[in-house]
Amino acid sequence: MSNQIELELAANSGPAWLAVDGVPVTVSFPAEAVRFEGEQLCFLTNGSVVRTVPRSEVAALSWRAGARGRPGDPKNAGLSWTDEERDQLTAEVHGELSWAEIARRHERSGAAVRLEAQKLGLVEAPVR
C-alpha cells in the first residue's frame, strides 16, 4: 500500500496560476518512497519514479502511512469513481448481482456503491 505524501510548494514555484496571493500550495499524492537525485526529490511507487519536484520549491513535506481510510476499509474507499467503474456499476445494477457482490468487485463498501448508483439515477434514494 502506498503512503500519502503531502507537499507544500513555495508560493513562487510553478506556474503563476498555482499560487494565489503568495500563499503556498499543498498537493497530495500516493508514493512508497522518496529519494534525492541532485536538486530533485523523486517519489517512487513500485520502484518507478512517479513524480519529481525541485527541492528548492518544497516548503514542507508530510508523509502519512496508510493515510486513506482505516484498517479493514476496502481498497478503493475514498477514491473518486472513474467513468469505467460507473459503466461497470450500471451494468451490474441492471444485472442479477447483490449489493455485497458489487461492492466486492469494486473494492468499496456497500454504502458507497449504493450511493454512487443513486447519484447515477440507477436506484432511488431511500425515503426517510
Q: How far is residue 21's CA from residue 86's CA, in Å, rounded to a whole number?
A: 38
Question: What is the reported pTM?
Answer: 0.46
What are 29-49's pLDDT values in tens digits?
788 888 889 999 888 888 888
The set of long-range contacts for 51-60, using a CB threshold of 8 Å and a minimum separation of 24, is 53/7, 53/9, 54/13, 56/10, 56/13, 57/9, 57/10, 57/13, 57/14, 58/7, 58/8, 58/9, 58/10, 59/8, 59/9, 59/10, 59/24, 60/6, 60/7, 60/8, 60/24
Domain ranges for the chain? 3-64, 83-119
Q: What is the pLDDT along the chain (128 residues), one digit of tens a residue?
A: 557 777 676 655 555 555 556 566 677 778 888 888 999 988 888 888 888 888 888 877 777 665 455 557 788 887 889 999 999 999 999 998 888 999 999 998 888 898 899 999 998 877 65
